[in-house]
Amino acid sequence: MQATVASYDAATRSGVLLLDDGTELTFPARAFDASGLRLLRLGQRLRVETDAAGEVVRVTFPTMA
CA distance 24 to 56: 12
- For the entire predicted model, the pTM comes to 0.88
Q: How confident is the model at residue 63 (pLDDT cuts 50, 70, 90)?
A: confident
Return the exposure string of 34-62: e unless at least 16 CB atoms fall within 10 Å of the residue's CB, then b: bbebeebeeebebbbeeeeeeebebbbee
Determine the pLDDT at residue 50.
95
Backbone conformation region of residue 54, classed left if phi is above 0, alpha if psi is from -120 to 50, else beta: left
Identify each DSSP E strand in the chain by its residue range: 2-9, 14-19, 24-27, 45-50, 56-60
At residue 29 the predicted structure's pLDDT band, cuts being 50, 70 and 90, is: very high
